[in-house]
Amino acid sequence: MTPKHGMKRREILKGTLGATSVIALAGCDNLTRSDWFAELLSRAETLTELVQRAVTPVGAMAKEYREADISAVFPANGNIDPGTQKYAEMVRDEFARWEVTVGGLVQAPASFSIGALKAMPARTQITRHDCVEGWSAIGKWTGVPLGDLMRQVRPTPGARYAVFHCADIDEQGVAYYESVAVEDLYHPQTILAYELNGKALDVPHGAPLRLRLERQLGYKHAKYVERIELVASLDGIGGGKGGYWEDQGYEWYAGI
Ligand SMILES: Nc1nc2c(c(=O)[nH]1)N[C@H]1C(S)=C(S)[C@@H](COP(=O)(O)O)O[C@H]1N2
Ligand SMILES: [Mo]
């Protein structure tokens, strides 16, 4: 895979929407009066994020589909098996010993087994996945709302991003990771999914746990999640751009 949609902040600044538009936006009374927009202005990382969040309110839901709309085949993309010995052992005992560890800037760090996650209230949603490589598929996902996990671990006020560390590594030994803004974790459709189309998640689709972040592009939906780290900055993580593909030029805020 080669980056196709990578667009750096500088390129966007030079692009369709000049810096003056942002100033005009920031100066608009209606918008600055609302709290979320003020918050957004202080937090937006890129112009894309700023503009997309401005046109789509923070809590807006991604479209949900009917059972009849579910794609006959949901392609698997990117890494389709972490391939490590440790992971192979986890597959052999059906992920009975898999745990997702939640730490970093949280008041109550914790680890959750698959069983513990399945015992929590679940959410099921039928949504469309869009990959920048040019395909889409509709699938039914079941999992635990990340907001519920966050209410248990309680991020500290300084926590701004959640980094999802995955079990797969590429040929160079670089581990896949992704990150999202803490506020997006509380969106009702942001879930840690353990089922696809009513069946336990299989290895190609990210068993036993993968992120669903329905209002962003496919590469944000980290598969094989084994650790979630709350951080104040993405600087010291991987290449510093917030994700495996972002480090190769993709946009961090992949809103759709
Ligand atoms: N850990 C991990 N997560 C990943 C990837 C990957 O290679 N490794 N690929 C991403 C990309 S580009 C897409 S489109 C989706 C594909 O998910 P799927 O295999 O369930 O279709 O997973 C995303 N999450
Ligand atoms: Mo993708």
Is 196 in contact with 74 (CB distance < 8 Å)?
A: yes
Ligand 1, from 77, 81, 194, 209: best to mutate by most atoms within 8 Å of Cβ? 77
Question: If you average pLDDT over residues 146-164, what whole number do you get?
Answer: 97
Q: What are φ and ψ of residue 184, in 5° steps?
A: -70, -20
Ligand nearest to the CA of 221: 1
Among residues 8, 14, 6, the alpha carbon closest in space to that of 45 is found at: 8
- Tell me the whole-structure pTM to 2 decimals: 0.85
Domains of the chain in sequence order:
4-55 (no CATH), 67-248 (3.90.420.10)
Measured in angstroms, how far is the CA atom of residue 213 from the centroid of ligand 2? Answer: 13
pLDDT for 203-253, tens place per residue?
999 999 999 999 999 999 999 999 999 999 999 999 999 999 999 999 999
Mean pLDDT of the chain: 87
Q: Is the CB of 224 under 6 A from ligand 1?
A: yes
CA of 77 to the centre of ligand 1 (A): 5
CA of 174 to the centre of ligand 1 (A): 15
CB distance 242 to ligand 1 below 6 Å: no
